[in-house]
């Protein structure tokens, strides 16, 4: 139980499902306030202390604030700045104040740039300074970026200093490991948070339930099913165990649609970690980047 509690402390609950109707595996739509309350209460008792949200996740911040999340460590994300913005530093400060007010907290453990490519445009430095000032004033603990591709990192990290990088990582998608980024980030003292461990639930679905779009990767997904079967491991355990096995990863952001999903997750974790085989890795963005999937 103790080592499990330690493992649970590496888990961070992703809350996009609380704020909008989202996900190919989600059959029930936006999670209801009653279910959100059950999920958060369970997290409190299970030592899952970190919540990941974003201004861009619809009503997510508001529902978290309504529940009362002062006891959690909160990470939110700053959206893209509006094109006609005259005073970026003021906009950053007002946007963060808006998040704090919706979340009903006076301190944020982390704020990530949700569209870090904007840091490379002519106003990027002002954007960064805005968040940096809030960190210096003690309103924010850590600042960071949420990225999609290994290529996004090089230029940004050459120009700016961050405490956290959030990136996608799962059994099919090991690009940040293979390009050595996990090691490079660790060497720079940067915390690594990963998301998409279940690839929006695709890696947990029975083959017959996968949407037709994924037929193109039938061979790859069949190999995944065979590997699970050969190793007598459930998909949920395989996905979690694969990320937990990587000691460079500090936090694992995962999403759930129900308390049942969450209970399945916590009961699947033990201390026997197993890395997925390399033949399941792919660089094909059309399967590993859910933003490129057709909208349901
Ligand atoms: N037993 C089960 O069946 C079971 C158990 C657990 C979970 N699940 C399923 O797994 C899902 C969670 O999968 P996961 O943890 O691997 O997370 P995921 O859905 O792959 O990744 C979550 C990330 O996707 C991005 N995102 C948000 N809105 C989006 C949108 N509209 N389009 C594309 N991407 C968007 C967000 O990152 P950015 O904000 O950075 O874009 C978010 O943090 C749950 O919703 C549930 O359906 C099923």
Q: With a 6 A CB cut-off, is 262 part of the ligand 1 pocket?
A: no
Q: Please count the CA atoms within 13 angstroms of the CA of 188 that sit on its side-chain side.
A: 18
Ligand 1: centre distance to CA 233 (Å): 22
For residue 201 and ligand 1, the question of a CB distance below 6 A is answered with yes
- Å from CA of 126 to ligand 1 middle: 31
CA separation (Å) from 6 to 27, 52, 216, 293? 32, 19, 39, 35
Under DSSP, the state recorded for 13 is E
What one-character DSSP code corresponds to residue 277? P
CA of 201 to the centre of ligand 1 (A): 7
> What is the best residue among 202, 257, 267 to mutate for testing ligand 1's pocket, by most ligand atoms within 8 Å of CB?
257
Encoded tokens for 240: 């979690």
CB-CB neighbours of 257 under 10 Å: 21
Atom nearest to 239 CA in ligand 1: 16
Mean pLDDT, range 69-76, rounded to an integer: 97
**Secondary structure of 78-91 in the HEC alphabet?**
ECCCCCCCCCHHHH
Q: How far is residue 70's CA from residue 31's CA, in Å, rounded to a whole number? A: 21
pLDDT at 283 over 80: yes
Query: Where do we find the tokens 């997904």?
Result: 221
Q: What's the angle, vertex CA 289, arms to CA 247 and CA 189, rounded to 5?
A: 30
3-state helix, strand, coil in the chain (%, to 5): 50, 15, 35
Q: If you average pLDDT over residues 77-92, what whole number do you get? A: 94
The pLDDT assigned to 1 comes to 45
Tokens coding 220? 């790859």
Q: Write down the pTM of the prediction.
A: 0.96
Give the residue, 238 or 5, on which the prediction is more confident: 238
Ligand 1: centre distance to CA 159 (Å): 30
How remote is the CA of residue 262 from the centroid of ligand 1, in Å?
Answer: 13
Mean pLDDT of 253-270: 95
Mean of per-residue pLDDT scores for the chain: 95
Residue 255 has a pLDDT of 95
Say yes or no: CB of residue 79 within 6 Å of ligand 1: no
Q: Taking 80 as the threshold, does the pLDDT of residue 177 lie above it?
A: yes
Q: Which of 21-30, 101-110, 260-269 has the lowest mean pLDDT?
A: 21-30
Indicate if ligand 1 lies below 6 Å from the C-beta of 264. yes
Q: Which residues contact 4 (CB under 8 A, 6 or more apart)?
A: 266, 269, 270, 271
Q: pLDDT tens-digit profile of 2-58? A: 567 677 999 999 999 999 987 788 777 899 999 999 999 999 999 999 999 999 999
**Other C-beta atoms lying within 10 Å of the C-beta of residue 44:** 12
Q: Which residue's C-alpha comes closest to atom 7 of ligand 1?
A: 256
Confidence of residue 295 (pLDDT cuts 50, 70, 90): confident
Q: Whose CA is nearest to atom 22 of ligand 1?
A: 196
What proportion of the chain, given as a percentage, has pLDDT over 90?
A: 90
Whole-angstrom Cα distance, residue 204 to residue 235?
A: 5
pLDDT band at 126 (very low <50, low <70, confident <90, very high): very high
- Which helix (DSSP H) or strand (DSSP E) does residue 253 occupy? strand 251-255
Closest C-alpha to 169, from 250, 111, 57: 250
To test the pocket of ligand 1, the residue of 255, 257, 265, 294 to mutate (highest count of ligand atoms within 8 Å of its CB) is 255
Q: Which of 250, 243, 203, 190 is nearest to 52 (CA)?
A: 250
């Amino acid at each position: 139980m103790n080592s499990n509690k330690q493992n649970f402390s590496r888990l961070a609950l992703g809350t996009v499902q609380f704020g909008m109707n989202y996900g190919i595996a989600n059959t029930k739509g936006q999670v209801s306030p009653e279910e959100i309350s059950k999920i958060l209460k369970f997290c409190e008792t299970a030592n899952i202390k970190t919540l990941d949200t974003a201004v861009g996740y619809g009503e997510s911040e508001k529902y978290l604030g309504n529940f009362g999340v002062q006891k959690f460590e909160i990470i939110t994300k700053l959206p893209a700045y509006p094109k006609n913005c005259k005073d970026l530093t003021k906009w950053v400060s007002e946007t963060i104040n808006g998040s704090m007010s919706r979340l009903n907290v006076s301190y944020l453990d982390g704020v990530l740039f949700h569209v870090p490519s904007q840091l490379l445009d002519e106003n990027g430095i002002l954007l960064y300074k805005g968040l940096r000032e809030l960190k210096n004033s003690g309103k924010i603990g850590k600042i960071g970026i949420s990225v999609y591709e290994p290529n996004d990192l090089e230029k940004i990290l050459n120009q700016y200093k961050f405490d956290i990088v959030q990136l996608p990582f799962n059994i099919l998608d090991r690009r940040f490991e293979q390009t050595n980024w996990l090691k490079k980030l660790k060497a720079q003292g940067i915390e690594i948070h990963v998301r998409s461990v279940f690839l929006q639930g695709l890696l947990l679905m029975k083959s017959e339930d996968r949407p037709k779009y994924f037929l193109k990767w039938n061979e790859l997904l069949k190999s995944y099913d065979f590997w699970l079967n050969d190793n007598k491991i459930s998909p949920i355990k395989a996905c979690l165990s694969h990320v937990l096995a990587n000691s460079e990863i500090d936090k694992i952001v995962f999403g759930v649609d129900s308390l049942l999903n969450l209970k399945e997750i916590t009961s699947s974790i033990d201390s026997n970690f197993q890395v997925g085989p390399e033949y399941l890795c792919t660089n094909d963005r059309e399967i590993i980047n859910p933003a490129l999937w057709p909208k349901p």
